[in-house]
Amino acid sequence: MDADVAIVGAGVVGLATAHALLAEGRRVVIVERGEVAKGASFGNAGALAFSDVMPLASPGIMLKAPRWLMDPLGPLSVPPAYALGIAPWLFRFWRASSRRASRHSMLAQAKLMRLARAETLRLIERTGLGAMLVSDGALELYESKAELAAALPGWEARAREGIEFRHLEGAEIAALQPGLSPRFTHATFVPGWQSVSDPYLYALALAEAARERGAAIRQGEVTGFETAGETVTLRLADGARVTARQAVIACGAWSKALARGLGNDVPLDTERGYNTTLPPDSFDLKRQLTFGGHGFVVTRLSTGIRVGGAVELGGLALPPNFRRSEAMLAKAKAFLPGLRTEGGRQWMGFRPSMPDSLPVIGRSAASGDIVYAFGHGHLGLTQSAATGRLVADLLAGRDPAVDVRPFSPDRFR
């Protein structure tokens, strides 16, 4: 037998899960179809967004969506070639955005975020990666008092969860981030916001730490599973086999087909995210800036200034449309007039997303020894350590640290 637990996927969720299992003395093998952390873990904003308890599927989003969809380069777009394919997902998203359903998702998200904060700090301490933790806070920016007012219900919900923030105007905003366009008249500062210095380097460091603790990482594309007695066998595209006592599916946007083969037809789809990473000296950025009305963020990393975000519901097969990166960069230049936009590197990645903005964490229909850990949308890095803890609980037969029923693979049945 190759390992106690085989993990499919070497992104940040799979790697954090490996560490949770290694801490319990389990022998772990990770099987990755490509390169370690070269999927969504490579190009995200590096945010540990523990305060982002509000689901994307919320009542307010349905008011904004028609206006956004009118702009093919706006914060939300659906390429015509994928409109029919995404329609069932969008219907479920609409249902999940009702006031009652959204509140249910928010409460589940808040519990997961509390666990995420504790488990992430524990993971960073265990792996000696404290130097990669950045605690500069974040600014959410608004172009009018009315725009801030529209966001207040979300901030009130965060306040009920004990999240600290304060609303700012004028000189208070400039003091926290000089060089902003005066069009941003209001802001909300979240002082407890944290991030990692570079998400890809963080994931690579987790991979190296896992190897040092005895984990094996091998390349191969998993095409299916076989279960017999106390053995789970992973079938690979090249004909090879990996055997273990238990398995975890944590391969992000590519998890859907594997789950279907195990009897769970989960409504997983992809939010294709775009960004441009500029040289580190492109702007004197003090902390992450969120331009919520435009659907993107500007983040300071150790490797550069990253301008990225937005949502393109376009699946896995369509070619990237880097005009979306260019449109965000042009807006960033208008919002930060001193920003130098030369020398940037463009990127597009697949965020694995569920209609209700909650991940899938739970046992497969085929076997209680195969557990799912995917569908985190924009929050894979943020929720990775919490997911690892919950997966370890499930595989050990313990009561999970938080109730995992809201994350069930069968919740849309």
Picking from 42, 5, 37, the residue whose alpha carbon sits closest to that of residue 23 is 5
Q: Kindly report the backbone phi and psi dihedral angles of residue 19, in degrees, each rounded to the nearest multiple of 5, phi listed first.
A: -65, -40
Core vs surface per residue 305-331: b (16+ CB within 10 A) or e: bbbbbbbbbbbeeeeebeebbbbbbeb
Residue 366's Cβ-count burial label (10 Å; 0-12, 13-18, 19+) is middle
Core vs surface per residue 62-72: b (16+ CB within 10 A) or e: eebbeebeeee
Q: Kindly report the backbone phi and psi dihedral angles of residue 343, in degrees, each rounded to the nearest multiple of 5, phi listed first.
A: 80, 25
- Alpha-carbon gap, residue 408 to 361, rounded angstroms: 6
Q: HSE, CB side, 13 Å, CA atoms: give it for residue 256.
A: 17
* pLDDT computed for residue 302 by the predictor: 97
Residue 151: both structure tokens together = 């966001």
* pLDDT computed for residue 69 by the predictor: 67
Q: Strand ranges (DSSP E) for 97-229?
A: 133-134, 138-142, 166-169, 186-190, 194-196, 216-219, 222-228
* pLDDT computed for residue 260 by the predictor: 97
Q: In CATH, which superfamily holds the domain spanning 1-51+108-131+195-267+356-413?
A: FAD/NAD(P)-binding domain (3.50.50.60)
Residue 358: both structure tokens together = 């909650």
Q: What is the pLDDT along the chain (413 residues), one digit of tens a residue?
A: 889 999 999 999 999 999 999 999 999 999 999 999 999 999 999 999 999 999 988 887 767 777 776 677 777 888 989 989 999 999 999 999 999 999 999 999 999 999 999 999 999 999 999 999 999 999 999 999 999 999 999 999 999 999 999 999 999 999 999 999 999 999 999 999 999 999 999 999 999 999 999 999 999 999 999 999 899 999 999 999 999 999 999 999 999 999 999 999 999 999 999 999 999 999 999 999 999 989 899 999 999 999 998 889 999 999 999 999 999 999 999 999 999 999 999 999 999 999 999 999 999 999 999 999 999 999 999 999 999 999 999 999 999 999 999 999 999 98
Q: Where are the domains of the chain?
A: 1-51+108-131+195-267+356-413
